[in-house]
Amino acid sequence: MTKPAGGAAVNVECSHCGRKMTVRLNPRQIKLNMNSAIPQQVTKKASTGKKYPMLDNPIPVPGQKGVYVFKQKLSTGIRYGISCPDCGIKGYIIYNNEGLKKYVCHCGSQFHFQTVKPKAENRSAKTAGQKQPKQIQPERPLQSSKPAPEENPKQQTVRISAANQERAELTWGSFLFPKRYKLTKELCTIGRKDNEIKSDVELKDEYCSRRSVAITTISTDRGYLFKMEILSAANPVLVNGMEHTAGESLYLNYGDTITMGKTTLTFRQAKK
């Protein structure tokens, strides 16, 4: 890069959003170190044209103006570029947890998509050129179908502000065709589909434990409380991205996510 002449116009491009503009520089206020090397980020951008993958071909939702859906699933922890088809503004998004997400542009347009954890590659299998069979952790023996009593000396129940909630439901599956289960029973169990040990909500997920969690609906004078207890954690159970062990219990709030295996359920207010 050479020092521009007096009042020269220079075209620049933002390395974060990709926006291009023309600026006029004053050579008296510019100090260039001609011996310094060009930054590696600029060289990489000039050779590849972009620093992160772009989300293309958003699908408009019929009957809803400015609402779009992406079919492709986004990996957590990876930055994606996004360009609004309505206003043309470019930006980027990145999420660290799984689930159904929504991105709102400056112009008000909404983009809906799903985030998943990237699949971990097995280095030994990659070197040998063969795929190793999937291994499922052995489950711990299930002692009782009912959740343990609240007074547990080993684990303490986590209390959160959830006393004024109305009826709730669990949703999971795709964004366009989600599955729903309304929590109307006093006790609801969730786990992998199994012929011997059945659950109220059966998931077709081989990475999920049988009868893994139980949700108890408690009626109060101000609304409902929804207490969830971990029955079996041979395969991990995560609530809002935090892993919980067997015997732990907590109260759910609207918007909480429950991840068991490769399935993520969202705790929401039930539709009337």
Domains of the chain plus CATH, in order, are 54-116 (no CATH), 168-269 (2.60.200.20)
In Å, what is the CA distance from 155 to each residue of 38, 117, 143, 236?
57, 29, 17, 17
Q: Which range has the worst mean pLDDT, 13-17, 179-183, 237-241? A: 13-17
> Could you tell me the two tokens for 127?
């070197």
What is the percent of the chain where pLDDT is above 70? 68
Tell me the per-residue pLDDT of 211-234, one tens digit each, with 9 for 90 and over: 999 999 998 888 888 999 999 888
Q: What is the pLDDT of residue 258?
A: 93
C-beta separation of 80 from 52 below 8 A: yes
Going by their DSSP bridges, the two strands 80-83 and 249-251 should be labelled as unpaired
Residue (of 166, 171, 148) closest to 217 by Cα position: 166
Determine the Cα angle at 115 with ends 19 and 53, to 5°. 35
pTM of the shown model: 0.41
What is the C-alpha separation between 239 and 113, in angstroms, rounded? 20
Per-residue pLDDT tens over the stretch 12-67: 777 666 677 776 665 555 554 444 333 333 333 333 445 678 887 888 888 888 88
Mean pLDDT for all residues in the chain: 75
Q: What is the pLDDT, as a whole number, of residue 90?
A: 81
Q: Residue 155's pLDDT band (boundaries 50, 70, 90)? A: very low
Let me know: does 204 contact 262? Beta carbons within 8 Å.
no
**Per-residue tokens: 123:** 């280095």
Give the span between the Cα atoms of 47 and 247, in whole angstroms. 54
Per mean pLDDT, which range of 33-37, 165-169, 196-200 is the poorest?
A: 33-37
CA distance 57 to 75: 18
110, amino acid identity: Q
